[in-house]
Structure 1
């Protein structure tokens, strides 16, 4: 992979050297390369991107002022094999010399390489866009049609070509549009043959898209047509056909009167020229029978069809005994007996059956009941998924802590264990990866029970609607880490509720979250945090500490020697300077926090808002809010029952001091679409965790860190902050974080994209037991410690994931003296290279 990135970099930066004079040297005489399009509407220039789809020719993609994609295509050949053979045969002794140098097999490989490289240029290149008069005329017709659809029926459009004064091989096409007068809608009348449809129409005509005095727009007519189709089909008209709707417009072609009267025509449904055809006429349809088949209908026996269950007006058929509780099935069916036919209830029922996650591709069919022309029988056809299923997965993994890794998991799923579509999952998972120069691993086992409803002794009247996708998760799990911190082992138990509200916001409430963190290798602390060890070792040697604390290499023995020295300093039985004393006490306090086992009992809440309408929406934003409260209920119970205290005076539950804190996070992401080849992405983040009551610091697993490939890319992960302290520890973390990122993304060639970015942010200690002014956030003046990193990145889309390489440069380094912070470290020697998977945000 490194070789691929190296080749891409060399190609991008060295291509202009061997391209020659210009890409234009091979074009035919009299032809011009399209530099740009320009559109003038009534003499005013408008952004061409808004009308770009209407233009049949657009300029090639440019990178640093050169059309690389077009050059790739132009430099490709149609017959590389014959060209290579011709070159080989051009000289009598050339082939002999090459075979003696490479061998026949290697020559074949070179030939294949040249062919593959040529095919790569064709795949990633694009045809050089030359100005074409035929395409220009087609673009003019497209523009005329567009403005005609917007009420400008008399618009006039012409074009001209302007040759580039700096290079006469290039030119731009200018489209000059004179709109003329715009037509408006006048009176809106209706002519509806069916009395039933006429009644429904008049009751809902205030919702019409066609409004008097509104500018003419064909989109409004299409929207009105679709509105009426949905209205009738959701109001009982089962057999309604959208082609029954037409619009009659009376336009003054002389353009004296710019108002257009509109008549909405809706014909009745009958055979052509057969006025006596009453069976097919539009009428209200009612649901008279509902059949629910929980197994493949073709596999049901006569006995199965005769021994059905009727529950709340729904006939439930099954193969043998019914595997589900009837009330859980009928809740999913929004179609009700004796109700009017509705497409909406059909779609709602399909959605709820899919969310039930026990059936394959549910379908619903309607049939007329015998001898009736307006009574329907509904058949809900279901095929259950298998009771048990096995799953295996493997994936590449990347995070701020893990440079690169392989994640794998296996799972066993049991469905419908309590006859209510409950799902029990057993999952084993593991990760093996690399962090800096250390091989790290994590293995875990999780058991999760999922209910497709709110499982609680309390009633959620406003949220129990299945449209809101209410789900309950009860989970328990354990994991063990190796070579990450202190080889932590975790035990978790949680109860969570998920649902989606009417505004499509995803909401999660963690009613109960219990986490036990057990640091199994705490005596190894100073082997891992070598900077802290070096600091204390230097203080001990400078102050001539007891020689028995040192080994033969004159270094403090871990753990006995260094622990003894720290105890002497803390008890003030060994006099040292105030600065050294503060350093030792800070390191000792941090060690106690990081090595202590944590018991976290709390609740959390999160809400996610994403206004992306569909996969084609390029302008959208996402906002995530999270909050967490831990230890308050535990603290209340501990005080009521006079819980025991630990050596630091904190209450203990089950022999462990429990954590007590409040944490909240705000995350906002926004994307702006510029054109088909470029966009801007922005992210802002704020998080704070405040300890109180039984805690004076935050558990390591709940703290914040800065730096890394998904954060501030000019610093390595954990190597930024807190504040201006200089990241003296191996894993620098704190309890408040501010971050902001902005990135301009653009296409270079084919699947290769580039990015220019600037990252802001830092972490600080606040409201905890840290007193170092370089680490703490004491007021708005400390915002001058926000680090700024800038850089350039490349992304290569491999289809199933995006490979990313970012180079970050320290633009503003808060560690330095104030006068030296800007651009002092802005150089390639101190650049940080980040390899990541997919986009950073």
Structure 2
């Protein structure tokens, strides 16, 4: 049945495309389908997108050279209602016969069904009507091209176009542009009526966009208007706007040169029925008034409480609910300062960042008590959010280990909890999921469960015992976050309890830059079921069991005399101990002995409880403006140190080391390592909704002192929907080892990914990608040559995966499917790595939310 359905669908699709393959199907006689636009500038063809964007008509879109949307549109019936009615007009009596067994109402509704009507509406919606050449639009296009060049200094430009018929009902338009020489800016004069403004301009004229010798460009004059206005308004000129700036361009008697006169007239305003002008005034702030509980309903109510703090006046309609400094620390407008727009913007940003007010409003009014009328009163209106808010979320999740999960969380937020604009949040969460990678003896679909509790306190300042204003001023909008959490995970495996805590400082050094410093980041991982290790890590058991079948001498270690499979956990533990006690025939110099030793070291590492006390610093710089920005870069660097503080304390306290020659805290060896990461993302907009995205990543964590390895939670893995998509999560590496373990991880990682993204239909996007990278062990206790990085020669073990993807953009998130193929697999011997598994049988289908980078 499945095969028959597939054939029917394929037949329908083929029929649609055959019927629509005539791209001229809906081109009327005497008209022409636009097949190509060509722009010639000084007789040379150009490809600049900005020029083609001036045209009012563009050819129908294509997908890999095929006019898919046009042919979908041609496949649609443009008048399905008439076609349906014709069935009955051409066959008298058919309507009555159908009405007898369907009823007349149902027969009428049948005409609106998907088969007769809906499919054609769909094809018209996703399709694209033929672009018929319109001379009126061509005239407008050539005029628009002309003004584009005039606005860029080519005052003598000449434009024309011609229509070239290339086939019956097909034609191309050729736009011809002769530029001539551009006009250059010659002299620059200023006519500024207000002396104070003239003085401000002269101080900053070196920053002017308009300079002698530059080519005339309208965009430069608009930019200069905004620059001047910003400069004036940041220096007290409250009433100034860009429209007060004008330019007089004089080309009389000049050969391709233009004199520029910058004109700024006096301030004009309306007083009753007459217009008046006067010189612009420079305003200072005479008072800052803060209304801490403003709302439209109480705007006329009497203020019952007020206080003055550091020259700020705070008002409240009831008892003031905030410590004054909590509010005034967010205000950058101070008494005695010049009015400045940037201070208003900065204040708004800081107040919004407090997350305890709704849409802060800042207004200015002239201080009537100042007889010189050069003072402004700043009024800050704050509308508090509700002190308590309850929230809940439910979602479907997908992660590197969990294939499918259903999660739910509930949270309670308390704002202004200590009257210092702090926000406290307590959240509980739970999740059930399914994972094919974990042991599942009962074949239950949901074999992963997790629940947890998280506490978070946000303090809108750096919570330190000393003043940090000189190092990190409040203009960087610093805040402190104190978190604590507990999670318990049951995954038919080791099962874990995870305790976390952190004190984190965040600030913004510059626009689009962020910094984060974790003073303390604590994690304690407790394994609840370590004896179940070999039931979870099947590959380790398989390797140990194979050795045991040959070298095990204790019958208590295996299940029966015939199969000789090691029992879990008594047999695996017993055989390993026998090997180390040398009661088997294996010797420390034997390869199988070293393999058992490696298996046991990995088991101990993954079943040991971990205690991590780390300090880290993260810096991020990005030029991304918004979610639609496709031309940006992002750079992120992170440095983390763990355990060093504990070692210093242990040495200072003369603590004794344990039998492993390591220090302990709470009877547990703590981790000590140094970790650093570099992450760089770059996007290029290739026009027409085509984007090239590249990501590079390098990370390394080096254990030392109290550790010989990095904890599992701080190590790296490769593969998955956001990494090398031709491999499953944890399935690649380390090095050329071939991913023999169930969860392959290491302490160094290199990753490079490139992706070409393009539009297919509407919100449906496509992508071609290539992912390169791998993980290695370096400077730890792993000795396997295939897994370790010892020289640059090991870079030949970098794996390469290529593939394609489909994405649907819902605006607020993107659903993504990527199919990856193993193109270069380092698991094979050199010379036999290319395209060894390049087929659908070894491909990996990844599902993800949003773009990978």
Bin for the TM-score computed over the shorter chain: over 0.9
**1:781/1:198 CA distance change after superposition, 3 Å:** closer
Aligned to 2:201: 201
Pick aligned residue for 1:154 from 136, 153, 156 = 156
**1:431/1:273 CA distance change after superposition, 3 Å:** closer
The 1-side partners of 2:657 and 2:674 are apart by: 22
Once the two structures are TM-superposed, the CA of residue 704 in structure 1 deviates from its matched residue by 0.8
Equivalence map 1:629-644=2 (5 Å): 629-644=641-656
Contact kept, 8 Å, 2:282 with 2:374, in 1: the verdict is: yes
Higher mean Cα deviation, 630-639 or 538-547? 538-547
Aligned to 1:471: 479
The 2-side partners of 1:690 and 1:13 are apart by: 57
**1:583/1:110 CA distance change after superposition, 3 Å:** farther
Structure 1, unmatched stretches of 5+, are: none
Aligned to 1:334: 332
**1:365/1:45 CA distance change after superposition, 3 Å:** same
Once the two structures are TM-superposed, the CA of residue 199 in structure 1 deviates from its matched residue by 2.9
Aligned to 2:441: none
Equivalence map 1:445-594=2 (5 Å): 445-483=453-491, 486-502=494-510, 504-543=512-551, 545-552=553-560, 554-576=564-586, 578-594=590-606
The 2-side partners of 1:790 and 1:170 are apart by: 39
The 1-side partners of 2:415 and 2:119 are apart by: 51
Pick aligned residue for 1:762 from 774, 793, 802 = 774
**1:309/1:830 CA distance change after superposition, 3 Å:** same
**1:277/1:715 CA distance change after superposition, 3 Å:** closer
Pick aligned residue for 1:721 from 733, 737, 740 = 733
Once the two structures are TM-superposed, the CA of residue 80 in structure 1 deviates from its matched residue by 2.9
**1:85/1:653 CA distance change after superposition, 3 Å:** farther
Equivalence map 1:310-325=2 (5 Å): 310-325=308-323
Q: Secondary structure at the match of 1:225?
A: helix
Contact kept, 8 Å, 2:818 with 2:846, in 1: the verdict is: yes
Once the two structures are TM-superposed, the CA of residue 94 in structure 1 deviates from its matched residue by 8.4
Aligned to 2:436: 436
Q: What CA deviation, in whole Å up to 9, does each residue of 1:34-53 have, x standing for no partner? A: 33322222122222313232
Once the two structures are TM-superposed, the CA of residue 335 in structure 1 deviates from its matched residue by 1.9
Once the two structures are TM-superposed, the CA of residue 510 in structure 1 deviates from its matched residue by 0.7
Contact kept, 8 Å, 2:493 with 2:532, in 1: the verdict is: no
| TM norm structure 1 | 0.92
Aligned to 2:692: 680
Once the two structures are TM-superposed, the CA of residue 190 in structure 1 deviates from its matched residue by 1.8
Aligned to 1:113: 114
Higher mean Cα deviation, 366-375 or 759-768? 366-375
Aligned residues: CA RMSD: 3.2
**1:424/1:697 CA distance change after superposition, 3 Å:** same
Contact kept, 8 Å, 1:403 with 1:436, in 2: the verdict is: yes
The 2-side partners of 1:244 and 1:784 are apart by: 64
The 1-side partners of 2:457 and 2:694 are apart by: 37
Once the two structures are TM-superposed, the CA of residue 270 in structure 1 deviates from its matched residue by 4.1
Equivalence map 1:635-784=2 (5 Å): 635-784=647-796
**1:212/1:576 CA distance change after superposition, 3 Å:** same
Q: What CA deviation, in whole Å up to 9, does each residue of 1:737-793 have, x standing for no partner? A: 111111111111122111111111111111111111111112111111111111111
Once the two structures are TM-superposed, the CA of residue 440 in structure 1 deviates from its matched residue by 2.3
**1:617/1:689 CA distance change after superposition, 3 Å:** same
Aligned to 1:269: 267
**1:361/1:639 CA distance change after superposition, 3 Å:** same
**1:789/1:100 CA distance change after superposition, 3 Å:** farther
Contact kept, 8 Å, 1:399 with 1:710, in 2: the verdict is: no
Q: What CA deviation, in whole Å up to 9, does each residue of 1:86-141 have, x standing for no partner? A: 4478668989799999x998996896223333333233222322332222211111
Q: What CA deviation, in whole Å up to 9, does each residue of 1:408-464 have, x standing for no partner? A: 322111111222211111111233333336532322111111111111113323344
Aligned to 1:73: 73
**1:97/1:238 CA distance change after superposition, 3 Å:** closer
The 1-side partners of 2:174 and 2:666 are apart by: 79
Structure 2, unmatched stretches of 5+, are: 439-446
Once the two structures are TM-superposed, the CA of residue 275 in structure 1 deviates from its matched residue by 15
Q: Secondary structure at the match of 1:823?
A: strand
Once the two structures are TM-superposed, the CA of residue 85 in structure 1 deviates from its matched residue by 5.3
The reply on whether 1:612 has 2:624 as its aligned counterpart is yes
Pick aligned residue for 1:349 from 305, 330, 347 = 347
Q: Secondary structure at the match of 1:23?
A: coil
Q: Secondary structure at the match of 2:451?
A: strand
Aligned to 2:307: 309
**1:89/1:726 CA distance change after superposition, 3 Å:** farther
Q: What CA deviation, in whole Å up to 9, does each residue of 1:170-202 have, x standing for no partner? A: 443222211112111122112223333333333
Q: Secondary structure at the match of 2:421?
A: coil
Q: What CA deviation, in whole Å up to 9, does each residue of 1:1-35 have, x standing for no partner? A: x99xx999969985785345432233223433333
Contact kept, 8 Å, 1:403 with 1:836, in 2: the verdict is: no
Once the two structures are TM-superposed, the CA of residue 484 in structure 1 deviates from its matched residue by 7.2
Q: Secondary structure at the match of 1:135?
A: helix
**1:709/1:265 CA distance change after superposition, 3 Å:** same
Contact kept, 8 Å, 1:304 with 1:320, in 2: the verdict is: no
Once the two structures are TM-superposed, the CA of residue 63 in structure 1 deviates from its matched residue by 1.3
Q: Secondary structure at the match of 2:267?
A: coil
**1:404/1:12 CA distance change after superposition, 3 Å:** farther
Contact kept, 8 Å, 1:186 with 1:260, in 2: the verdict is: yes
The 2-side partners of 1:766 and 1:470 are apart by: 37
Equivalence map 1:397-416=2 (5 Å): 397-416=397-416
**1:267/1:599 CA distance change after superposition, 3 Å:** same
Q: What CA deviation, in whole Å up to 9, does each residue of 1:278-320 have, x standing for no partner? A: 7854222332232211112666699963642122222211122
The 2-side partners of 1:560 and 1:273 are apart by: 96
The 2-side partners of 1:70 and 1:197 are apart by: 58
Q: What CA deviation, in whole Å up to 9, does each residue of 1:246-285 have, x standing for no partner? A: 2212123x7x522211222222234699999878542223
Equivalence map 1:47-86=2 (5 Å): 47-84=47-84, 86=86
**1:121/1:376 CA distance change after superposition, 3 Å:** same
Once the two structures are TM-superposed, the CA of residue 144 in structure 1 deviates from its matched residue by 0.7
Q: Secondary structure at the match of 2:338?
A: coil
The 2-side partners of 1:290 and 1:515 are apart by: 46
**1:278/1:652 CA distance change after superposition, 3 Å:** same
Q: Secondary structure at the match of 1:120?
A: helix
Contact kept, 8 Å, 2:479 with 2:506, in 1: the verdict is: yes
Once the two structures are TM-superposed, the CA of residue 830 in structure 1 deviates from its matched residue by 1.5
Contact kept, 8 Å, 1:415 with 1:421, in 2: the verdict is: yes
**1:28/1:304 CA distance change after superposition, 3 Å:** closer
Higher mean Cα deviation, 305-314 or 65-74? 305-314
Once the two structures are TM-superposed, the CA of residue 222 in structure 1 deviates from its matched residue by 1.2
The reply on whether 1:819 has 2:828 as its aligned counterpart is no
**1:535/1:545 CA distance change after superposition, 3 Å:** farther
**1:230/1:442 CA distance change after superposition, 3 Å:** same
The 2-side partners of 1:175 and 1:187 are apart by: 35
The 2-side partners of 1:91 and 1:664 are apart by: 79
The reply on whether 1:798 has 2:810 as its aligned counterpart is yes
**1:551/1:593 CA distance change after superposition, 3 Å:** same
Which structure is richer in relative contact order (CA contacts within 8 A, separation 6 or more)? Answer: 1
Q: Secondary structure at the match of 1:329?
A: helix
Q: Secondary structure at the match of 1:185?
A: strand
Aligned to 1:39: 39
Pick aligned residue for 1:136 from 138, 145, 160 = 138
**1:305/1:522 CA distance change after superposition, 3 Å:** same
